[in-house]
Amino acid sequence: MRGTTLIFIDFEFSMPEGRGPKGFFPEIIEVGLISVKDFSDTDEFSSYVKPRVFKRLSRRCKSFLSISQEDVDGGITLAALVKRLAALNNQGNNKVITWGNMDMRVLRQNCERAGLPFPFSGEFVDLSMEYKRFFGDRNQTGLWKAVQEYGRDGVGKHHKALDDAQTTQHIYHLVEKDKRYLNRAEPTTIGDRIDLSKLQQLLVQ
């Protein structure tokens, strides 16, 4: 029987200068992922990705992500990325874990525009929503703020795809650990549920 593979994934996207050129849409320009099969066998992958349509990065994008045009020009193609993700998807029962829902939305949009099949067929977990529900927050929390709320530091550099994927994995394990701790809470005894002193008073009356 095929095991379970947890896939922690983060993409960085292109962004326009101002409103950008007509018809602009975000394209994946960097990927970082960690796959954990059967909760033990770990593999990491990181690469820049060449944008297909809007090939020149905006100054805003390069500055915000600390990325260069040469970085993405030397990256893999979107088709190669999708092929790699599909191969990973076929290895077992998958749970794809991201911080927020933008990663899968942009991947799906990029695939549709390129005429490529969406590579994932397993379960999807938006860890930011899990975190929000678990802690009862009114608003969604940013990735690195969330890990700092645990009294930890994020891994590496924010907005670096593999570092963000590693930070997502880190928070996932912290939340799962807290869930297990709460689920192991000992059941209450009858003494916890009934005030025995009041019961004694009733019996002697």
pLDDT for 176: 81
Helices 127-135 and 161-183, axial angle in degrees (round to 10): 40
The answer to whether residues 8 and 33 touch, using CB atoms and an 8 Å cutoff, is: yes
Q: Given pLDDT bands bounded at 50, 70 and 90, which one contains residue 12? A: very high
Domains contained in the chain, CATH given: 4-204 (3.30.420.10)
Q: Give the residue with greater pLDDT, 67 vs 188.
A: 67
Helix (H, G, I), strand (E, B) or coil at 53: coil
Name the average pLDDT for the chain: 84
Stated pTM of the model:
0.80
Tell me the angle at which helices 102-114 and 78-89 cross, rounded to the nearest 10 degrees: 120
Told to judge if 158 belongs to the known catalytic residues of this protein, a careful annotator would answer no
**Helices (H) then strands (E): counts for the chain:** 9, 5
pLDDT confidence tier of residue 188, bands split at 50, 70 and 90: very low
DSSP state of 30: E
In single-letter form, the type of residue at position 171 comes to: I
Catalytic residue among 44, 130, 149, 159: 159
Radius of gyration of the chain (CA): 23
Contacts of 148 (CB under 8 A, 6+ apart): 154
Q: What is the pLDDT of residues 117-171, one digit of tens each?
A: 999 998 999 998 888 877 766 566 677 677 666 666 555 567 799 999 998 998 8
Catalytic residue among 12, 27, 30, 170: 12
Token pair 């397993």: residue: 122
Res 170: pLDDT: 87
What whole-number percentage of the chain has pLDDT above 90?
56
Q: Tell me: the pLDDT tens digits for 192-205?
A: 444 545 545 545 55
Residue 12: active-site member: yes
